[in-house]
Structure 1
Amino acid sequence: MNPILLIHGFMDRSIVFDQMLSYLVNEGHNVHTIDLTPRYGTADLKVLAQQVKKYIDDTFNKEEKINLLGFSMGGLVTRYYLQRLGGVEKVNKYISISAPNNGTFTAYFLPFVGIKQMRPRSDFLLDLNKDIISELDKVKCLFLWTPFDLMIFPAQSSIMASFNAETIPVLTHKWMVSDDRVLERINLFLKDE
């Protein structure tokens, strides 16, 4: 199985994935995490995507394919890596969990550059979404979301047309990375050839 790299969201650190990491390791996966800095939305998401690229370039063999998972803001960071930094050549499978793929109205609460990029119809999102199909068609994708998400508002913003998007009715945004149903679905997707 390909190694998997987990990328956290706004205000989080890699510790947010502790339960997921334990579960996936017990299932036989080689799991990696990194702490993006800064993690408060104060930096351009493109800068955070460069950190993802650097970690991947420094950690994995050039020919080695990996799997990539982005949670919340990390979903946009990973998409930028895939779509603009050549990540589609390196990644076999991609999982997006509760990411504001079409923006979130909660991003109007803070004026930081990375937060503004998560607003509906931001230049950042318009750019990523204009060629998402032609770019992400090169990797196997799974988009997971919950209709009860109050961080990604509206919750349907996580859905990307033309891609496999599955609803898992988890009660809060943060629980999407620890709910047993989500973990089982991720494991199934990663092991499915």
Structure 2
Amino acid sequence: MKLVLVHGIFNTGQVMGWMRRQFERQGYECLTPTLAPFDGRRGIAFAAKQLQSHIEATLAEGETICLVGFSMGGIVARYYLQHLGGEKRTKALFSISSPHHGSYLAWLPYPSRAMRELRPKSQLLSQLADCQERLEGIALYSFRTPIDFTIVPSRSSHWPRANNRVIWRPLHLSMIFSRRVVAEILAGVVQLSPGGETTPQTGQGLQRAEE
């Protein structure tokens, strides 16, 4: 089972590098695709189709994955699951500081369709909320920090359908450098892995970073 790490807006796949190394140290293969344009100006659906293309071009048909989506990446991952058939091969979605209910910061005047779609009560977020039954059978997790000035309010990352975790971290981006977040994701992946006794030990050998 591969882990697919999906970056957020104004980033590339490189921003997931530290987290990727932690998972690889535990024996998991990871994909960290870069979704262009980096500012999401062509929208969530466009980014999700890129994600779909990357997964299908890289992995064998029927090969299962777990998705780890940071910020906008969590919403891109949901679109892939709920509208592009990604649920057929996905065992879990771990969203990290993703604006499931939008962010008021997305009202900033920037020419990005994705930013408009991440505003509270946007049409896209409403559509995703209305077809969550397509996520049946997928383990769902949502991590958030109360000290988040990008997802405003930070509680917008609370996803009633998911297993929610509150991790006290200073600021939005720091969530993908949290050893605790990595350890909890690994624990969730282990629960989904057949033959758990041969699965890498979670939390051991993690590169030092802030908790």
| Band of TM-score, shorter chain | over 0.9
Q: Unaligned stretches of 5+ in structure 2?
A: 193-211
- Check conservation: 2:140, 2:161, Cα contact below 8 A: no
Looking at structure 1, the residues matched to 121 and 32 of structure 2 have their Cα atoms a distance apart, in angstroms, of 30
Name 1:9's counterpart in structure 2.
8
Looking at structure 1, the residues matched to 54 and 41 of structure 2 have their Cα atoms a distance apart, in angstroms, of 21
Q: Unaligned stretches of 5+ in structure 1?
A: none
Name 1:169's counterpart in structure 2.
168
Name 1:121's counterpart in structure 2.
121
Q: CA RMSD in A?
A: 1.0
Counterpart amino acid of residue 9 in structure 2 = F
Name 2:180's counterpart in structure 1.
181
SS at match of 2:151: coil
1:111 Cα deviation after fit? 4.1
Counterpart amino acid of residue 68 in structure 1 = L
Identity score, percent: 31
Name 2:34's counterpart in structure 1.
35
Looking at structure 1, the residues matched to 136 and 150 of structure 2 have their Cα atoms a distance apart, in angstroms, of 27
1:138 Cα deviation after fit? 2.4
> Normalising by structure 1, what TM-score?
0.96
SS at match of 1:192: helix
Cα-to-partner distance string for 1:122-166 (whole Å, 9 max, x where unaligned): 00101001122x122221111111111110000011111132111
SS at match of 2:75: helix
Q: Which runs of 4+ in 1 moved over 2 A?
A: none
Name 1:63's counterpart in structure 2.
62
Looking at structure 2, the residues matched to 141 and 64 of structure 1 have their Cα atoms a distance apart, in angstroms, of 19
Looking at structure 2, the residues matched to 21 and 65 of structure 1 have their Cα atoms a distance apart, in angstroms, of 18
> Normalising by structure 2, what TM-score?
0.88
Looking at structure 1, the residues matched to 39 and 112 of structure 2 have their Cα atoms a distance apart, in angstroms, of 8
Looking at structure 2, the residues matched to 76 and 39 of structure 1 have their Cα atoms a distance apart, in angstroms, of 15
Looking at structure 1, the residues matched to 157 and 98 of structure 2 have their Cα atoms a distance apart, in angstroms, of 5
Looking at CA atoms only, which structure, 1 or 2, has the larger radius of gyration? 2
Residues 36-185 of structure 1 mapped to structure 2, 5 A cutoff: 36-109=35-108, 110-132=110-132, 134-185=133-184
Looking at structure 2, the residues matched to 41 and 120 of structure 1 have their Cα atoms a distance apart, in angstroms, of 17
1:182 Cα deviation after fit? 1.0
Counterpart amino acid of residue 44 in structure 2 = L
1:101 Cα deviation after fit? 0.6
| Matched positions, count | 191
Looking at structure 2, the residues matched to 29 and 75 of structure 1 have their Cα atoms a distance apart, in angstroms, of 20
Counterpart amino acid of residue 124 in structure 1 = L
